[in-house]
Amino acid sequence: MRADLDIIQAWIAHGSRVLDLGCGQGELLCYLAEHKQVEGYGLEINHDNISACIEAGVNVIEKDIDDGLASIRDGSFDVVVMTQALQVMHRPDLIVDEMLRIGRECIVTFPNFGHWRARGYLGFRGQMPVSKFLPYTWYNTPNIHFCTFKDFERLCIERNIHIRERTVVDHQHRDRWWLRLWPNMLGEIAIYRITR
Amino acid sequence: MPTLFPDDSVGLVEPRLIHFDQPLRLASGRTLPEYDLVIETYGCLNADRSNAILICHALSGNHHVAGYHSPEERKPGWWDSAVGPGKPIDTNRFFVVGLNNLGGCHGSTGPNRPNPETGKPYGPDFPIVTVRDWVESQARLADHLGIRQWAAVIGGSLGGMQALQWAIDYPERLRHCMVIAAAPKLTAQNIAFNEVARQAISRDPQFHDGHYYEQDTIPKTGLMLARMVGHITYLSDGGMREKFGREMRSGTLNFDFNPQFEVESYLQYQGERFSTAFDANTYLLMTKALDYFDPAAAFEHSLSDALANTRCRFMVISFTTDWRFSPERSREIVDALVEARKPVSYAEIDSQQGHDAFLIPSPRYMEVFHAYMRRVAADVPMEATDAC
């Protein structure tokens, strides 16, 4: 399993009710169902991913998260997860609010735009960063709301969101001790565990 | 004669009639003392009887789901695109059962069949049947066939409503429930269209209060109008535009009231064909069954409470341009299932075909259908099935 998913699954208790926003091919939900008897649903819009989930027996619901989650009741999930999708949302702040409304706890991961490579690219070349990890050019990228760790934490403070845990990994989702020395400069992917 | 039919067809099929002599008490309070159901089956029932799939039909459907009744038959069964060797409902893996519902007009006990008490056709005296009544009669059919638990119950439109009712009424008797282009209940608009259809039929002078069989006539005009208005609700605005536009049969305006636009003659043709192939009393009954369907009503109008005791997994599918039972209606079912903590997947298929899309094998629809059916098949032991 992808290293960030491994970190996330460790934060999810046995038998929880989990909603995975942008669940991809259902890797995390499949693992949680098998190893932790988790009852989960994934939301997804990619057609191939939806078919893959259906065939794997993962509960997948075709839905554009940007349309809102109003049909889901307050506090109806133990954990709401969103991996690598915050930056493609039209209003990341509203989505985080919604996640905290329907889930008792939320886990969010996103790429850190404050990473030294992104800073260097913009600083020296004067162009929006393009890399193997973030391969899009500015005009065709689905990533419309990049932020840094600091930005995200400021949002949490403004909205009274409590950060229970956080960690950073590199672009291969590996946990490296030295990333924690200066996460906003060295970490490539942030993983936050938040509650209201 | 392997060359007569396509390779992925179930080929030549034969309906069979099953008689039930145990009285069936209906939701209306009335009782059918005895009845017949006409069915068709495809594929082989496996040794532990775990690979059976029930197909529930919609308003004008019947037991002839797939294959051909004769080499001369022009068109195969109504869902031949989904049922056959290698198709989503793969007859190499599954034993598939299709039936004509009670009140139907294709051989099962209904208005056009003789009432055993009088020897004359039931006509308007045939009791109003509901989706629940159908499901109960289908459960008795399952008993008769020795099927304790369906691998899946599948239906589109009114058929999807039956599948949903199965999950509620007989939670132990199905493992999967596939609800396609359906709704948890009809809206005022849906009922309104049905009422126009009913008025068209019952106000036809040839209707004779439903006793037209004795008069040796049929309310052809009424049934034709009912079908025409129904047919409009099965298509989408965009689909009709694409198919007919404002094409005219002759190049110029005639300044009279004869059909001139292609869409007019198409609708007339469809209505005309239907009016001689379908029974008017059955049409009235089917629209009533639709209007009355509301499984949440018995649970203080909470659909999630209605679904609380279900035990199966659900697959819900809708089509973007379907305005008869729009994607919102399917999402109501999905939301209620999520709230009731039931396993459910949902796909919303892009289509230009409106409500009719559930009968048309578009690529993504078939991909989703295949994917879910492979999941259904995974629970069924694989065995040689050419032994039946």
Provide the ipTM: 0.93
| Residues of chain A neighbouring B375 (CB-CB closer than 8 A) | 54-57
Give the pLDDT of residue A114.
87
* Rounded (10°) angle between helices B188-202 and B220-234: 160
Q: Which two tokens stand for residue B210?
A: 């439903």
**Sign of the CA dihedral B169, B172, B173, B178?**
positive
- Give the whole-angstrom CA distance, residue B2 versus residue A163: 68
Give the pLDDT of residue B387.
60
Average pLDDT of span B312-328: 98
Average pLDDT of span B352-376: 97
Helix (H, G, I), strand (E, B) or coil at B160: helix
Helix (H, G, I), strand (E, B) or coil at B360: coil
**Sign of the CA dihedral A55, A71, B173, B32?**
negative
CA distances from B93 to B36, B121, B206, B383 (A): 28, 40, 48, 8
E strand map for A23-161: 39-44, 60-62, 77-83, 103-111
Structure pTM? 0.95
Between chains, do B374 and A60 touch, taking CB under 8 Å as contact?
Answer: no
With a CB cutoff of 8 Å and minimum separation 6, the contacts of B331 are A71, B318, B346
- What confidence tier does B2 reach under pLDDT thresholds 50, 70, 90? very low
Q: Which two tokens stand for residue A73?
A: 């009741």
A21 backbone dihedrals φ, ψ, rounded to 5°: -85, 115
With a CB cutoff of 8 Å and minimum separation 6, the contacts of B269 are none
- What confidence tier does B3 reach under pLDDT thresholds 50, 70, 90? low
Q: Does A73 touch chain B (CB under 8 A)?
A: yes
User: Which residues sit opposite B18 in a β-bridge?
Assistant: B37
Determine the Cα angle at B24 with ends B20 and B28, to 5°. 150
Q: Of the candidates A39, A61, A72, which has its C-beta nearest B346's C-beta?
A: A61
- Give the whole-angstrom CA distance, residue B216 versus residue B363: 46
- Give the whole-angstrom CA distance, residue A107 versus residue B131: 44
DSSP annotation of B115: P
- Give the whole-angstrom CA distance, residue B343 versus residue B308: 12
Give the pLDDT of residue B193.
98
| Chain B closest-CA separation from residue A17 CA (Å) | 9
Give the pLDDT of residue A168.
85
Q: Of the candidates A59, A62, A71, which has its C-beta nearest B343's C-beta?
A: A59
Q: Of the candidates A17, A51, A76, which has its C-beta nearest B367's C-beta?
A: A51
pLDDT tens column, B70-115: 999 989 999 999 999 999 999 999 999 999 999 999 999 999 999 9
- Give the whole-angstrom CA distance, residue A124 versus residue A120: 6
Q: Does B288 touch chain A (CB under 8 A)?
A: no
Report strand pairing: A162-169 vs B24-25.
Answer: unpaired
Active site residue B355: yes
List for chain B the helix, strand, coil content (%; round to 5).
Answer: 40, 15, 45
Dihedral Cα B360, B363, B364, B366, nearest 10 deg: 60
Mutate to test the interface with A, among B304, B328, B346 (most CBs of A within 10 A): B346
> What percent of chain A is modeled with pLDDT above 70?
99
pLDDT tens column, B195-246: 999 999 999 999 999 999 999 999 999 999 999 999 999 999 999 999 999 9
Q: How many other C-beta atoms can be found within 10 angstroms of the C-beta atom of residue B265?
A: 15
Q: How far is CA B311 from the centre of its chain?
A: 23
Q: Which two tokens stand for residue B232?
A: 């409009």
> What percent of chain B is modeled with pLDDT above 90?
93
| Residues of chain A neighbouring B378 (CB-CB closer than 8 A) | 57
- Give the whole-angstrom CA distance, residue A85 versus residue A62: 16
Give B211's Cβ-side CA count (13 Å radius): 6
Give the pLDDT of residue B50.
96
Active site residue B9: no
Q: Does A76 touch chain B (CB under 8 A)?
A: yes
Any idea how long chain B is?
Answer: 388
Q: Of the candidates B345, B368, B374, which has its C-beta nearest A61's C-beta?
A: B345
> Which amino acid, B35?
Y
A82 has a pLDDT exceeding 60: yes
Contact in structure between B357 and B327 (CB atoms under 8 Å): no
Full 3-state SS string of B67-107? CECCCCCCCCCCCCCCEECCCCEECCCCEEEEECCCCCCCC
Catalytic residue among B322, B326, B330, B351: B322
Average pLDDT of span B369-375: 98
Average pLDDT of span B353-368: 97
With a CB cutoff of 8 Å and minimum separation 6, the contacts of A176 are A169, A170
